Structure 1
Amino acid sequence: MPEAVAPFRQFVVKVASRCDLACDHCYVFEFADQSWRGRPAVMTDETAERVAARIAEHAAAHRLRTAHVILHGGEPLLAGPARLERIARTLRAALDGVAELDLRIHTNGVLLSERFCRVFEEHDIMVGISLDGDRAANDLHRLYRDGRSSYDKVIAAVDLLRERHPRLYAGLLCTIDVRNDPIAVYEALVALEPPRIDFLLPHATWDEPPLRPEGSATPYADWLIAIHDRWIADGRPVPVRLFDSITWGARGRGSQTESLGLSVSDLVVIETDGEYEQADSLKVAYDGAPATGLDVVRHSLDEVARHPGPAARRGGADDLADECRACPLLVACGGGLYAHRYRTGTGFRNPSVYCPDLFKLIPHVDRASGGATHTLPASALGALAAVTAGPGEIELLHAPQSSLTRLLVARAHGSDPGDSAWTALVRLDRDDRAAVRRAFGHPYVRAWAAGRAAGRGDARHLAAVAAAAAIAAGRPAKVPVPVTDGVIHLPGLGRLRVGPGVEAHVEVGDGGFAVHAHGHRYDPASPEWEPLRETFPGGPLVDDVDPYRDRFGRPARERLDETGFAAWREAFAAAWKALDAEHPDQAAVLRAGVRIVTPLTGDDAEVAVAREAPGALGVAGRPTPESLVRGFWRSRLAAVQDLFDLTGGDTRVEEELSAAYSRLAAAAVARPAEAADLLEEVRRGVRDLASGPLPDMGRRFVTGMDAAAAARLRSLPCAPPADHAP
């Protein structure tokens, strides 16, 4: 059986391999790879049909919701309007009933005409135009072969889109030249009212480094920071993909560009002759760098995905240089664009040639950024709003939460290269990333790291996290650990009482682990060891020892003795068993999302959540199925709010949203009469929320809640009509 592959979702289709301009910064024609010389000038209809069939085959095999196809070149308009129309028609016919087609074209614009635009209108082809700024900036590089300016024709193309075909106008792509005035470039681009601006670092490698004028070690960061600060002062008049990507990445929410972050590359290029290639940017590295040797006639896209080239770009942090893996900006930066890391002798396992610029730019943008959003499938967001999400949708929230924890831990570490705990984590991450992921997945690691970001907590706890990761890896290691008030804490595992004032270390071997302190050896069988315990077989663990568990708005209980724990566990297991028997769908999502349970003081059956500890529930008294469900879904709402700005930062609105959402969850397990009352309360609360100022994502979310409440009301026996929407 063939091994599973990560599918491609972006398909760059080269419909023309020549260009009508002679831009001296063009990566296709002016750098190491010159394969364009041997390719057909335009893609034939026969090749286009094979390309469309391969994309449809791949989309069907991997159940892609959307196939993103970019018509590219060279200059794609050289293919002519008739050929582009045939290619668009072929693609849409092949994907009809298979996947949605997001079809775009990137052009220099000089040939754009009304005839082209009619084709683009008919086939829903969005148009992005390359423009480097004002006339002076554009004419520094974007000239005809005889030296004539292309500026007036490009501006005419933009005006044609703006004035007669605004629906097609996708945005502007600007390649940076630090010799240009950044503010003049910014003002010229914003004046053209683009839906989006992409600022692109000029392609360069360690062998062919970028222009760096004397007097600045970070000219590209300085240039972009000048624009960023003006953009902020202007109230962000237009989305800027680079700045938005930094904001998203810095919060562990993925990236909008392959130039930043740890998102897996999902792009493939198909040349005019039907050959598959890797990303075009690799042409700057060496001749043949993007080649795969595969083509649409003989090979499927799954075969391309298994090729060593594309596969090597899908390892995330595993493929990065050691310096990058140890960097506190790892998640947001991701090592920069893959091509920009190339150096003869070491290949692509280097930091970006723009590393100093990225190290300066990313924190600057992150500090100034406001709320950002994260790409989450609309169906998953709708299911979360309706409290109908299953284990699959719950899993979708784990990846961004994991990335955010990783970023917070990196920030908690700071930047001391001599930190032995951090060095151990970096080494473990290189050898066994799954083990580090498991250690970071403990909710109270996130709570500690978030506290460190706010100036709270013990920095030495990083060593305990490193020890827990080493134990998860199960490989021979020796990790020094801190002793706090006579106790060694190992997050996710338990604590060991060794007495005050000692130095200690954890030693991991093939048979398990032991702790060495003041000449004694302790292992998990030692009476001084207090491990986490099971709620019930296969259920979440009980953590009543972690020093960072006290995050639930009421005190956490001290570790329960065996008698007290047996009584507490019996009550918890009974509530879970009842939930499993009466509402197995809800029990299934709790299994997917609850990792840790912490006993709290009080007898009121309260199940509390902590935004700083995703995956943990605090339980007071004797829980009930309803209190478990309420608490769980409040924790999922907190996870959604880490990805989306639902409330505009208004604490009162956040409390009202949480209350309404909690009632919606409770209605899922309530008896019909009680459910009806809860759902009516939900609808009243949602109407109040919708009547005030909400961000777009917040309005969409509460609208989904209202629709779910209305649908459930209609399904109840003898329910009144529920047709009023906010």
Structure 2
Amino acid sequence: MTRIPLPLTQFVVKMHSRCDLACDHCYVYEHADTSWRGRPKVIGEEILAKAAERIGDHAAAHRLSAVRVVLHGGEPLLAGPERLRRAAEFLRSALPPGCALDLRIHTNGVLLSREFCALFDELGIKVGVSLDGDRAANDRHRRYADGRSSHPQVLRAVALLREPAHRHLFAGLLCTIDVENDPAAVYQALAELQPPAVDFLLPHATWDDPPKRPAGQGENPYADWLLTVYERWEADGRPFAVRTFESVHRTLRGLSSLTESLGLEPSDLVVLETDGTFEQADSLKTAFDGAPATGLDVFRHSLDEVARHPGIGVRQAGLAGLSAVCRACPVVRSCGGGLYAHRYRGDDEGGGFDNPSVYCGDLMTLINGIADRGNPVGRPVVRPVPAQAAEPVVPTALTDRQLDELARGHGGADTVRALARSQLALTRAMLAAAWGASGQRRSAAWDLLSALDRTAPAALDAVLGHPYARAWAARRLAGDLGAGLGPLAALAAAAAVRAGRGDTLAVTVRGGVLHLPTLGSLAVPDGETVVTGSAGGFRVRTADGELITGTDPRWQPVRRVRLAGGWTVALEDLDPQRDSHDHPVEGRLSDTELLDWTGALREAWELLGHDLPGYAEGVRAGLTTVTPLRPGPPGRDVSAAARQAFGAVGIARPATAPILGLLLAHEFQHVKLGAVLDLLDLYDPADTALYFAPWRPDPRPLEGLLQGTYAHLAVTEFWGTRSLAYDGLPGEAADRARTRFALWRQYTAEAVDRLAGSGSLTPLGLRFTDGMRATVAPWLAVPLPAAAERAAGRARQERSPVGG
């Protein structure tokens, strides 16, 4: 059987096909598709049971660690509490062990009651509510059929979700943009409700039925509207999540988008209608009658068959699935061509969906506008400049709040992105310094980097933000000249491929492998190899004259794992610079090894969010790469982080997913602290004394003690959380968690005191140590059984250094 391109992990289940409002911008009832008229109003129990079975089988076959199911409509609350209960029960009972269910409901809110909230609390269902702003904005479209306002009822629903007993159920607000509404007033009305997230949605439109563009509002009113909101959101310190803005931030750095409407991430979503038929994305209802149909249904077809449907596949094709105009666009990796449905044009000239988005100009203006507004993850001021120019300076990018967050061991998304910005600036400075030290006056690679810096900065930043981009520069500045300028040329060639402008560059290949960082590797003869990046991909002219394209089966791409929440990490088993972790690296993973890693990472990420929520947000914002390492001796877990590889961790896959999650968090602590130390002096570098860490038999420099202590904040919390989860329960696993917790909280507390007493910390270093102490202190107060304390004492005696 043909292997599907990507497993499905997101499912929209239509619980009811009618609605109690008559919103005139609704894509279900007011746009081109009319299939709702012939469908049952309420989904049947037999359909729900079979759908749950299909999802469970799919999750088991593809080792999914989590699936997201959204109960939708029409208005799903019209299905009634018992039908909603049955849906949740079917789904939870059908999923295999180790696969988490992220269950949500999207509602207009008018029927939401305390009874529904109690049900959702019992069943673990999070609630998203549609609201377009203040009363004037909401009433422009969201009214009852008789014209009455729905705004008071929606505010009542949101007030219910904001109550302390229900706050954990509140998933956020969905706001459909109308450019005739005042963006500042809309933002303020939504912000006053203190939602955890807001999705600002472009109204569904096509080239046949374009969005309204009122006279006097300029060429790109939707971009202007969103940028007004963006400026208010930034000025307020990002009080809630906005996937559109955060996706632009991420894609400008070469990371994955958080929404299907932006970026080149493949879609993994399918819709189940009330009659049991599978459909593609709901947004396609705006294109033409029958556009979302697949001809498949839950009784006769598996989800593997659904995933192979051409309509699903085309939304997974990335850059290759876009029109020629889009592939040549400088912001394509952020825009992604826009939402698939918005590309539709029905006339003979239009070519169906082979067009740019009808919002093309708005998307370009929005992306460039965010990049130009000095966003916290945008391009830093330091650029690769000729050696004779002014010395680059790495900006100090941390506020007092962010420094205090990091001192406590944590660090939210904006804080970690600030570290990433400073690290990108440092990479540029180091590349400039390495180029200057080469003594060469001209280089085609350097000239191309400089040209791309002016014309395609996002493509260049995506490559220079790769964790191993500066490894060559670090080694060269340390005196290792063995690789010549080949790695610099490879970076330039990779950026040229990403830019897709048609640039050509010769790269000298040694060792029989051409590696393009962030993209992949190709086995070619040694010698001068010419790489050309074009809108449709790239081609390589080898030293013996053979022409190879990116579709050649010999091309080995960097493989990425999509994790819950829509972000991805690269499994880096190709980059020759990845040997920066002081442990031997694995070679290219086999398909079986890749599948094992994929399942383990997905499960580990789910557990990380549960066990270490204060660390997970920063990991998601900054971890881009996992490098597989070779296993160590039996019984020893191997992991590492490299100072010159921000965003990467090296790990030998451990036996269990919880330990993998712990290793991810532990090593990312080193990654964060390394970035802090690149910005700030926390200790006196003249101190050459060696210090014992409680967990090591050998003394270490002060920075080593600081790094170890900081990493073990996460270790302490991990075992503390698991110990509390076992509270009062017997068994080997519970005893082990309690013993580990007792051991590591004491180790970490002692190490903090040893740092503070070193006499070599700067005022900032003392402030940092105070933050670490504040994090450890509550864990020291957690009562533990005497047996756990005794077991920890025995383990400590076996480990303790002599004289330590």
Q: TM-score scaled to structure 2, two decimals?
A: 0.57
Gap change, CA 1:674 and 1:416, over 3 Å in 2: closer
Q: How does 1:577-592 map to 2 (within 5 A)?
A: 586-589=583-586
Q: How does 1:529-678 map to 2 (within 5 A)?
A: 586-589=583-586, 633-639=642-648, 646=672, 650-651=676-677, 673=698
Counterpart of 1:91? 91
Q: Deviations over 1:449-474 (max 9, x none)?
A: xxxxxxxxxxxx99997879999xxx
Which stretches in structure 1 are left out of the alignment for 5+ residues?
Answer: 373-384, 386-396, 426-435, 449-460, 472-476, 484-488, 498-505, 515-537, 544-571, 580-585, 593-610, 617-628, 660-665, 704-709
SS of equivalent to 1:276: strand
Shift of 1:32: 1.0
Counterpart of 1:291? 293
Counterpart of 1:512? 545
Aligned 8 A contact 1:676 1:716 in 2? no
**Percent identity over the alignment?**
50
Gap change, CA 1:511 and 1:590, over 3 Å in 2: closer
Counterpart of 1:154? 154
Shift of 1:137: 0.6
Counterpart of 2:327? 325
SS of equivalent to 2:584: helix
User: Given the alignment, which residue of 255, 259, 271 partners 2:257?
Assistant: 255
Counterpart of 1:413? 452
Aligned 8 A contact 2:467 2:645 in 1? no
Shift of 1:368: 3.3
Aligned 8 A contact 2:452 2:496 in 1? no
Counterpart of 2:106? 106
Q: Deviations over 1:553-576 (max 9, x none)?
A: xxxxxxxxxxxxxxxxxxx9xx99
Aligned 8 A contact 2:13 2:70 in 1? yes
Paired AA for residue 174 in structure 1? C
Gap change, CA 1:648 and 1:80, over 3 Å in 2: farther
Aligned 8 A contact 1:176 1:202 in 2? yes
Counterpart of 2:736? none
Paired AA for residue 70 in structure 2? I
Counterpart of 1:275? 277
Once residues 270 and 232 of structure 1 are traced to their aligned partners in structure 2, the CA distance between those partners, rounded to angstroms, is 38
Once residues 338 and 258 of structure 2 are traced to their aligned partners in structure 1, the CA distance between those partners, rounded to angstroms, is 13
User: Given the alignment, which residue of 370, 391, 394 partners 1:365?
Assistant: 370
Gap change, CA 1:168 and 1:470, over 3 Å in 2: closer
State yes or no: 1:719 paired with 2:799. Answer: yes
Aligned 8 A contact 1:231 1:237 in 2? yes
State yes or no: 1:186 paired with 2:187. Answer: yes
Paired AA for residue 174 in structure 2? L
Q: How does 1:357-436 map to 2 (within 5 A)?
A: 357-366=362-371, 367-370=373-376, 413=452
Counterpart of 2:341? 339
SS of equivalent to 2:270: strand
Deviation larger for 672-681 or 283-292: 672-681
Q: Deviations over 1:468-525 (max 9, x none)?
A: 9999xxxxx9958699xxxxx998998879xxxxxxxx993795369xxxxxxxxxxx
Once residues 260 and 324 of structure 2 are traced to their aligned partners in structure 1, the CA distance between those partners, rounded to angstroms, is 20
Once residues 162 and 696 of structure 2 are traced to their aligned partners in structure 1, the CA distance between those partners, rounded to angstroms, is 56
Once residues 188 and 364 of structure 2 are traced to their aligned partners in structure 1, the CA distance between those partners, rounded to angstroms, is 26
Counterpart of 2:48? 48
Shift of 1:28: 0.8
Once residues 700 and 207 of structure 1 are traced to their aligned partners in structure 2, the CA distance between those partners, rounded to angstroms, is 58
Once residues 652 and 467 of structure 1 are traced to their aligned partners in structure 2, the CA distance between those partners, rounded to angstroms, is 28
Q: Deviations over 1:198-219 (max 9, x none)?
A: 1000001111110111230010
Paired AA for residue 44 in structure 1? G
Aligned 8 A contact 1:713 1:719 in 2? no
Aligned 8 A contact 2:284 2:291 in 1? yes
Aligned 8 A contact 1:478 1:507 in 2? no
Once residues 354 and 322 of structure 2 are traced to their aligned partners in structure 1, the CA distance between those partners, rounded to angstroms, is 6
Shift of 1:633: 3.0
Once residues 172 and 705 of structure 2 are traced to their aligned partners in structure 1, the CA distance between those partners, rounded to angstroms, is 44
Once residues 100 and 720 of structure 1 are traced to their aligned partners in structure 2, the CA distance between those partners, rounded to angstroms, is 40
Shift of 1:37: 1.0
Shift of 1:50: 0.6
Shift of 1:673: 4.7
Q: Deviations over 1:562-601 (max 9, x none)?
A: xxxxxxxxxx9xx99xx9xxxxxx3235888xxxxxxxxx
Shift of 1:42: 0.7
Gap change, CA 1:205 and 1:643, over 3 Å in 2: farther
Shift of 1:685: 6.9
Counterpart of 1:428? none
Q: Deviations over 1:414-448 (max 9, x none)?
A: 6869xxxx9xx9xxxxxxxxxx99xx999479989
Aligned 8 A contact 1:249 1:332 in 2? yes
Once residues 718 and 64 of structure 1 are traced to their aligned partners in structure 2, the CA distance between those partners, rounded to angstroms, is 40
Aligned 8 A contact 1:442 1:491 in 2? no
User: Given the alignment, which residue of 235, 240, 243 partners 1:241?
Assistant: 243
Paired AA for residue 185 in structure 2? A
Paired AA for residue 374 in structure 2? A
Shift of 1:636: 4.4
Q: Deviations over 1:32-77 (max 9, x none)?
A: 1111111110111111111111111111111111111100001101
Once residues 647 and 67 of structure 2 are traced to their aligned partners in structure 1, the CA distance between those partners, rounded to angstroms, is 31
SS of equivalent to 2:161: helix
Counterpart of 2:302? 300
Shift of 1:4: 4.1
Counterpart of 1:566? none
Gap change, CA 1:188 and 1:313, over 3 Å in 2: same
Shift of 1:224: 0.9
State yes or no: 1:134 paired with 2:134. Answer: yes
SS of equivalent to 1:223: helix
Shift of 1:195: 1.0
Gap change, CA 1:717 and 1:295, over 3 Å in 2: farther
Gap change, CA 1:507 and 1:587, over 3 Å in 2: closer
Gap change, CA 1:480 and 1:231, over 3 Å in 2: closer
Shift of 1:334: 1.1
Aligned 8 A contact 1:713 1:721 in 2? no
SS of equivalent to 1:587: coil
Gap change, CA 1:217 and 1:633, over 3 Å in 2: same
Aligned 8 A contact 2:641 2:648 in 1? no
Gap change, CA 1:327 and 1:462, over 3 Å in 2: farther
Number of aligned residue pairs: give it.
546
Q: Deviations over 1:331-356 (max 9, x none)?
A: 22111111111122412222111111
Which stretches in structure 2 are left out of the alignment for 5+ residues?
Answer: 379-408, 410-419, 429-445, 475-486, 509-513, 518-524, 530-538, 548-572, 590-621, 628-637, 650-664, 686-691, 710-747, 757-763, 779-788
Gap change, CA 1:267 and 1:480, over 3 Å in 2: closer
Shift of 1:363: 2.3
Paired AA for residue 243 in structure 1? F
